[in-house]
Structure 1
Amino acid sequence: MTGNFVATAATTIDAPASRVWGVITDPEAVKEFMFGADLVTDWTVGGPIAWRGEWEGKPYEDKGYILEVEPGQKLVHTHFSPLGGDEDKPENYHTLTWTLEDQEGGATKLTLSQDNNATEEAAEHSQGMWDMLVADVKKIAERG
């Protein structure tokens, strides 16, 4: 599947970076914006991260590894979903990069990018999904 197309979603959230960070790392909030999946990780660089849930009546487990953690600023992890139909091998993993940037008035710009999309169409599909996800993060963070 190896490709170099990147999907990027971004939004400005009317909340400080600390609040946005709390949302993207809290298992209860993640369950809300990540399609009901249970998040399992200890946020240790090099350690595993998993999202367990059910899709169309079938249990699944997406997984990856934590690559970088800068609280309130940046989170980088790999991601593999068996739902995509690809073989579970390193070249089929995406890298997801969450970047938080302070904005005027206490707001935060959240950008989520996913690399290693095989085609431009695959990147567009992923971007549509991530656009919905960052919009949900925004709703959760802004409601306090």
Structure 2
Amino acid sequence: MNKEIKYSISKLVNAPKSIVWSVILSPDTYKEIWAAEFSGSWEKGRAFSFSGEWDGVPYQDKCSVIDRHDEKLLVYTYWSSFWNVPQREAESCIIKYEINELDEHSSELTITQTGFRDDTHYAETVTLWEDTIDFMKRVADKLYLESDS
């Protein structure tokens, strides 16, 4: 795992941070965008996993929450069975979700990954994070619009 490589993407979300936070923590988000089942806890120091099938291959991603500040920050380690390496800290990357409230109606969501296996992993992950942040924005925008009616 090359932990010198980092990727970050940000989006303006037309929703307050509480709604963005609820989208980040919702198992339905990951079921919809990644076809993944969430199991475990988002609490600091706790483990969780995503499992499912990707391109016909079953997988299990194992994670552990490093830091959490409600409606502001979630940081966790991430290891995937796709990588065919032992599950240990040196083989895990770090995923970070940050929410910056701009005003009572909008926020900026930033997703950052630190650590990549290789150039192929980087390219695939960039596409995954672009799709993920677009999905999270759409869901949060819609939830806020519906709550305002």
Normalised to the residue count of structure 1, the TM-score between the two structures is 0.89
Structure 1: runs of 5+ lacking an equivalent? none
Preserved CA contact (<8 Å) 1:5 1:118: no
Unaligned runs of 5+ in 2: 144-149
Partner of 2:22: 22
CA distance in structure 2 between the aligned counterparts of 1:118 and 1:26, rounded to whole angstroms: 27
Moved over 3 A (4+): 118-125
Q: What is the Cα-based RMSD across aligned positions, in Å?
A: 1.7
Match of 1:64 in 2: 63
Paired residues in the alignment total 143
State how 1:15-54 maps to structure 2 within 5 Å.
Answer: 15-33=15-33, 35-54=34-53
* Matched ranges for 1:43-122 at <5 A: 43-104=42-103, 106-119=105-118, 122=121
Local SS of the residue matching 1:80: strand
Identical aligned residues as a percent: 22
Distance 2:65 2:27 in 1: 15
Cα–Cα, structure 1 residues 120 and 58, in superposed 2: closer, same or farther, change >3 Å?
closer
CA-to-aligned-CA distance 1:76-124 (integer Å, 9 cap, x gap)? 0111111133332211101101000011461110000010225566434
SS of residue matched to 2:87? coil
User: Which letter maps to 1:110?
Assistant: L
Distance 1:56 1:128 in 2: 15
